[in-house]
Amino acid sequence: MSAHGGSQEPIGQPTPGEAGARTAEVEPYDAVELITRKRFGEALDGSEISWLVEAFTRGAVAPEQMSALLMAVVIQGMGREEIRDLTAAMIASGERLDFTGLGRPAIDKHSTGGVGDKITLPLVPLLAALGVAVPQLSGRGLGHTGGTLDKLESIPGWRASLGADEMERILRDAGGVICAAGAGLAPADRAMYALRDVTGTVASVPLIASSIMSKKIAEGAGGLVLDVKFGSGAFLPEVADARELAETMVRLGEDSGLRTVALLSDMDAPLGRAVGNANEVREAVEVLAGGGPADVVELTLALAREMLALAGRSDVDPAPALADGRAMDAWRRLIAAQGGDPDASLPVARDAEIVRAGAAGIVRRVDARAVGVGAWRLGAGRAGPGDPVDHAAGVEVLVRPGDRVRAGDPLFEVRCDSAGRMARGLAALENAVELGAEPPEPRPLVAGRIAAG
């Protein structure tokens, strides 16, 4: 693996004799003019977008100006070329990685996030066991959705921060790595996301797509599989919006030469039974041992097949590797390679409460967002970047849509060691299960597939 810097050449910098007040005069564009044009729905060209991003990273475009531009994008949207140019500008703000020297295909996966989404945990060792390298750069949770790094940090000793050389060594030795993205990868996106997070400009297809794809393209894998979620527990609840996002990201991959496929998956109900950091690691280990909830296994295998196809190994069935112990062996290597103890006990909260059904009926719906908010209030998530998480806190979902329950039957097991947090978490779960007289219509877990062409 190698890394090289992107173009960070300042545009319009003064010569030594033109310092001071003349600096603003040599900028090729005026930020206010570009913001105003975007506010009225005009398309910006590649050089204008490139300048905006580059000038923002060096302070010539102020944070409040970039915030105004981001809000204009939320309101007016962006065309395909604008999104492509914004993505390219964010990539150019930092380094690009290269995995062509690994001696095996490197295929990445990204999920847009959801409640109980622990798929990365069994998926990476499964692919590693089948000869495909997975350089998985993951993130932390915010709000009602969990973060892969927070989950893995419930394993004693496990480290999320790796240097480029260590990441390459682990990829060669263990076949996969799950770690935090380095500060040099698309730094403009990191700075822009910090603004989006506090200005109500997160939920925008052009901004989500360019944010995700700038890092994934810069990462340097040979292919990318996207898990784009919809439903109450997703950032984009409507399937039409999720499809638009998936199509946009697949086009960005195509435009950059990164082979990209997207699956649309249902996040209206929590994925699996376990929600919360250590809880989800335990469930992932169940899957690696050949068991686990059917929906977690189904989505893991669906994504694995897509990744194998991009690696030129579509003839390989990934299912046997979960049953025969190969994936579990790879998991143990991956965890140990990053300092973790795969045999260590995971934290368990001392206090537990059971949420029970108030009436009899058939479970028509388990609201993923309500469950995610409940786990977040228990301490499993964070309200802002840098907040600590309680790795032991979480929710066990004891019913699925279609189950018949009687009054008093358990619906959730809730764990937390703070009485105040426990009360707030239980309140979030009061109406998380909808009961009725008839079972719900079956919903496919994977609702669609989007590829280039």
How far apart (Å, rounded) are the C-alpha atoms in residues 80 and 250? 11
Q: Is 98 a catalytic residue?
A: no
Marked catalytic residue, from 211, 214, 232, 265: 211
Q: Is 196 a catalytic residue?
A: yes
Marked catalytic residue, from 84, 151, 190, 196: 196
Supply the pTM of this predicted model: 0.90
Marked catalytic residue, from 85, 108, 117, 189: 189
Q: What is the pLDDT of residues 226-283, one digit of tens each?
A: 999 999 999 899 999 999 999 999 999 999 999 999 999 999 999 999 999 999 999 9
Residue 146 vs residue 192, higher pLDDT? 192
Marked catalytic residue, from 38, 96, 109, 110: 110
What Rg value do the Cα atoms of the chain yield, rounded? 23
* Average pLDDT of the residues in 396-400: 98
Q: What is the per-residue pLDDT for 143? A: 64
Which domains are delineated in the chain? 2-92 (1.20.970.10), 100-187+196-344 (3.40.1030.10), 352-436 (3.90.1170.30)
Q: What is the pLDDT of residues 303-350, one digit of tens each?
A: 999 999 999 999 999 999 999 999 999 999 999 999 999 999 999 999
Q: Residue for token digits 């200005």?
A: 199
How far apart (Å, rounded) are the C-alpha atoms in residues 248 and 254? 10
How far apart (Å, rounded) are the C-alpha atoms in residues 301 and 295? 10
Q: What is the per-residue pLDDT for 387? A: 78
Marked catalytic residue, from 84, 215, 229, 251: 215
Q: Is 210 a catalytic residue?
A: no
Closest to 256 in 3D by CA, of 99, 87, 138, 100: 87
The pLDDT confidence band at residue 62, using thresholds 50, 70 and 90, is very high
How far apart (Å, rounded) are the C-alpha atoms in residues 29 and 223? 36
